[in-house]
Amino acid sequence: MRVQVPAWRSDDGAVTAEFAVVVPAVVLVLAMGLSAVQVGLTQLRATDAAADAARSLGRGDDAGTAAGRVARVLPGATMTSGVEGDLVCVRVDAVGGSGLAGVVPVSASSCAMGGGR
């Protein structure tokens, strides 16, 4: 003999409810992972921009040329430079990207021998 289960105790729709909870969580984890990759790539670009600018200033180019190199590699970044002994050092600051990555600050610095040596 089979027992009838009341309609209010049925499992109908349980999978739909679980799926509705899981999908936003998966989307959030995916967005966070892609944002982390974007921040990492921006960090690499900032490091390259700082190295290019430091070498440029080390060769005796003016600050405008070095800033142009930074802007070409990483648009929207700011550059500061200074001299430490025989070294010309550059610091590049930028944001991590767009979306979730836009709240992460990224900075990189690099030094090169000054005076065209």
Angle, helices 14-58 vs 63-73, to 10°: value is 160
Assess whether pLDDT exceeds 70 at residue 3.
Answer: no
Q: Is the pLDDT of residue 72 over 90?
A: yes
- Per-residue pLDDT of 103-116, as tens digits, reads 889 999 999 998 76
Mean pLDDT of the chain: 87
Does the pLDDT of residue 68 top 60, yes or no?
A: yes
State pLDDT tens for residues 44-61: 999 999 999 999 999 999
Q: What is the pLDDT of residue 89?
A: 95
Q: Where are the domains of the chain?
A: 12-113
Task: Name the 3-class secondary structure at 11.
Answer: coil
Nearest to 31 by CA among 97, 99, 96, 106: 99
Q: What is the pLDDT of residue 13?
A: 65
The CA-atom distances, in angstroms, between 74 and each of 23, 46, 69, 81 are 34, 7, 9, 16
Statement: residue 5 has pLDDT above 90: no
